[in-house]
Structure 1
Amino acid sequence: MNHQQRMQDLRFQLRSLQEELRTYEGIGENLENLKRRHDETVDEIKYLRKCKETRLLEETMKEIFLERAASLSRLSAENALLELHQRDNDQSSEELQKLRKDNDFLRATVLEQNLHIQHLRERLDFISKRQTTDDFASELNKF
């Protein structure tokens, strides 16, 4: 009798341990799913940040371009006006020379800012290429 009782106790313990093992296996699967979802969320956040950086850079470049175009138009108008005044009035030649210097300075500034725009374009290209590479790497990691 004692042997049968011991066998029943062992069977009961075995069933309890099997149920506990199934519970732990379920918890492990849930943890793996949560980790995968966490990784996907982190990847999506990185992608959205890169998109935001790209969009902000594009907006900045557009603003700079519009400012430069307005400056160039203003300079051209001032230059044309100065040339008309020079013909009419030789006394204003000193002022005209000063304005020409200012005009030359502003042109140099526009050229410098155009170089800055070129730098921003190169940076945008770099970010876009990096974003494409990171997106590709993220897709490969999913497999």
Structure 2
Amino acid sequence: MSILVVDDEPLVTRLVTRLLRTFYFDEIETAHDGATALEMLRESRYELVISDYRMEPVTGLELLASIRANSQLRETCFLMMAGGTETELVSAAYSAGMDAFILKPFSASMLRSKLREICESKRLLLS
């Protein structure tokens, strides 16, 4: 499964990438903001985008909306991450087409559970 991890905090992208590798995913790329992610999505196809909610200049919600509005990208699975004070934004993200949500900080088992949830709903293979 090809995965794009998007977060403006380098520590978070490294942590998520490391966790994904422990789950035996090896096709992982990272972006430091939503604008860069959109450029990468125009160049390559990813089966899953894991994105932070709060970023500049393109937020995670705007990134999600752009993906869902694009006929070539709209089937891309999307897992949104957000900090503890942002839980009220979850309903807006689900309305925009998010597949799953995870609250930061999260454990490896929680991330794996969310990945399993997405894969089962989309009938994708999980390592």
Normalising by structure 1, what TM-score?
0.16
Which structure has greater strand proportion?
Answer: 2
Normalising by structure 2, what TM-score?
0.18
Structure showing greater Rg: 1
Q: Which has the higher contact order (CA 8 A, sep 6+)?
A: 1
